[in-house]
Amino acid sequence: VALFLTGLLYPKLHIEDNRDAKSAVFDSYQNQGFFPANLSYTNAMSRMLHQYVRQFSQKLVHRRPLEVGAESESPEAHLNTLDLVALGVGRTLGAGVYILVGAVAKVRAGPATVICFLMAGLSCVLSGLCYAEFGARVPGSSSAYLYSYITMGQLCAFITGWNLILSLVIGTACIARAWSYTFDSLTGNHISQGLEGTFSLHMPYFLATYADFVALGLVLLLTGVLVLGARESTLVNKVFTGINILVLSFIILSGFIKGDLHNWELTEQDYKLNASGSTDIYSLERLDPLGSGGFMPFGFEGILHGAATCFYAFLGFDSIAMRGEEALNPQHSIPFSIMISLFICFLAYFGVSAALTLMVPYYQIQPKSPLPQAFLHVGWGPARYVVAVGTLCALTSSLLGTMFTMPWLIYAMAKDGLLFQGLLLTLSLPHLVYAITPGVMALLFEFMDLVDLVSVGTLLAYSLVIFSVLVLRYQPYQILSKKEKTEDKIEMKSEIEGSPLGSGPEAGTSNILKSLWFPPSTIPTRKSGQIVYGCSSLFSSSLTLAVLLLTILSLLLAQWSSQVFSGDPGLTTVAVLLLLLITGVTVIIWRQPQDPTYLYFKVPALPVLPLVSIFVNIYLMMQTTSGTWALFGIWAAIGSVIYFGYGIRHSLEENNEQQPPASTSQTLDKNILGAGSS
pLDDT digit string (tens) for 275-309? 555 544 334 334 445 566 678 888 887 887 788 77
The per-residue pLDDT for range 354-403, each reduced to its tens digit, is 999 999 988 888 877 788 888 888 888 888 888 888 888 878 877 877 77
> What residues have CB less than 8 Å from 343, skipping those under 6 apart?
none
pTM: 0.73
**Confidence class of residue 350 from pLDDT cuts 50, 70 and 90?**
very high
- Phi, psi (rounded to 5 degrees) for 255: -65, -40
**Confidence class of residue 457 from pLDDT cuts 50, 70 and 90?**
confident
Could you tell me which residue, 609 or 676, shows the higher pLDDT?
609
Listed ranges 177-191, 316-330, 631-645; the one with the highest mean pLDDT: 631-645
Phi/psi region, residue 144 (left: phi>0; alpha: psi -120 to 50; beta: rest), is: alpha
What pLDDT is recorded for position 67? 56
∠142-345-134 over CA atoms, to 5°? 30
CATH 1.20.1740.10 intervals, the chain: 81-260+295-472
- Would you identify the CATH topology of the domain 81-260+295-472? Amino acid/polyamine transporter I (1.20.1740)
Q: What is the mean pLDDT of the chain?
A: 72
Phi/psi region, residue 604 (left: phi>0; alpha: psi -120 to 50; beta: rest), is: beta
∠270-276-278 over CA atoms, to 5°? 85
State percent of the chain over pLDDT 90.
Answer: 4
429, amino acid identity = L
Spatial distance between the Cα atoms of 444 and 211, rounded to a whole number of angstroms: 5
Asked if residue 677 has pLDDT above 80, the reply is no
Spatial distance between the Cα atoms of 36 and 29, rounded to a whole number of angstroms: 10
Closest CA to 591 of 500, 476, 474, 477: 474
* Helix (H/G/I), strand (E/B), else coil: 79: strand
Q: Alpha-carbon torsion 341, 344, 348, 351, what sign?
A: positive
Could you tell me which residue, 133 or 34, shows the higher pLDDT?
133
